[in-house]
Amino acid sequence: MPIDFKDDKSRSALRAKRRKTNIVLNTLIAVVIILILLVGGTIFFGGSDTGEEQAKRPQNTEKEITNKPADKSDETDDNSKEDTPDEEEEDENGKLEEIESDEPNVEKVLINPAWKPIGTEQGDGHQSSYNMGTTDWNEKLKAAAYAVDIPVENMTTWWVTGGDDPDNQAELTVSAKNSDDTYRVNIEWVTGEGWKPVEVKKLIQNDKR
């Protein structure tokens, strides 16, 4: 039987082609495995630390900004803004002092160093009056209302009398309308400035009713 050289050549070429294909495939597989190993190693050994550091950096920066001490001038301004209203309120209203009393019908005595004269329309020609409706009478009531913080129109005046110096001192027993709380208010005259509250006694019972 004659030998078919053409068939041998085609088989040899096919084998050679398969070898080359196998070499290329094996090479590609090796490259892929190497890349997988490299990427995996980076993720498990180096990538996690790097990721954490990158994640921490912006957080640390934010903390540094947040915890940065405020400028002293800003703190001073804030403190001055907060303190100013309190100081003004204290200067205007003062601090009401409560004093215990041994008097039988007095629950307590109230004094406020910030009380001021209420003003007057009488000028230097002041004449103390105990007649209802006169200018001086009305100013006495106004001073008593100021001391007990009750509007004049809502205040009942039970009694008005002079002190040791009737021209310059007076004592009024007053209460708010529809209230059982009764006060005895001592006032004194300040030349050119009007009547000024001196002390307030809160009574246990209204002894002028």
Return the amino acid letter for 141: L
| Nearest residue to 158 (alpha-carbon basis) of 48, 166, 83, 150 | 150
| pLDDT at residue 77 is higher than 80 | no
Confidence of residue 7 (pLDDT cuts 50, 70, 90): low
Query: Quick one: pLDDT at residue 92?
Result: 52
The β-bridge relationship of strands 182-190 and 194-203 is antiparallel
Which residues touch 93 (CB under 8 Å, ≥6 apart)? 112, 114
Q: Report the pLDDT value the prediction gives residue 95, as an integer from 0 to 100.
A: 83
- What is the reported pLDDT for 149? 95
> How far from chain centre, in Å, is Cα 164?
48
Question: What mean pLDDT is predicted for residues 42-50?
Answer: 63
3-state secondary structure of 97: strand
Looking at 8-12, 103-107, 134-138, 162-166, which range is the least confident one?
A: 8-12
Would you place residue 9 in the very low, low, confident or very high pLDDT band (cuts 50, 70, 90)? low
Of 184, 26, 33, 40, which Cα lies nearest the Cα of 103?
184
- Pairwise pLDDT comparison (18 vs 130), residue with the higher score: 130
pLDDT band at 4 (very low <50, low <70, confident <90, very high): low
Chain segment 174-207, per-residue pLDDT in tens: 999 999 999 999 999 999 999 999 999 999 999 9
At residue 61, the pLDDT reads 43
- CB atoms near residue 117 (< 10 Å): 19
Measured CA to CA, the distance from residue 134 to residue 138 in angstroms comes to 6
Q: Average pLDDT for residues 90-119, to the nearest whole number?
A: 87
Task: Assess whether pLDDT exceeds 80 at residue 85.
Answer: no
| 8 pLDDT tier (thresholds 50, 70, 90) | low
Cα distances (angstroms) measured from residue 90 to each of 13, 32, 97: 110, 82, 13
**pTM of the shown model:** 0.56
Quote the CA–CA distance of 58 and 61 in Å, as a whole number.
Answer: 5
* Half-sphere CA count of 178, side-chain side, radius 13 A: 2
| C-beta separation of 154 from 177 below 8 A | yes
So what's the pLDDT on residue 130? Answer: 95
Query: For 140-143, which contacts have Cβ atoms below 8 Å and span 24 or more sequence positions?
Result: 140/170, 140/172, 140/187, 140/195, 141/172, 141/174, 142/118, 142/195, 143/117, 143/118, 143/185, 143/187, 143/194, 143/195, 143/196, 143/197
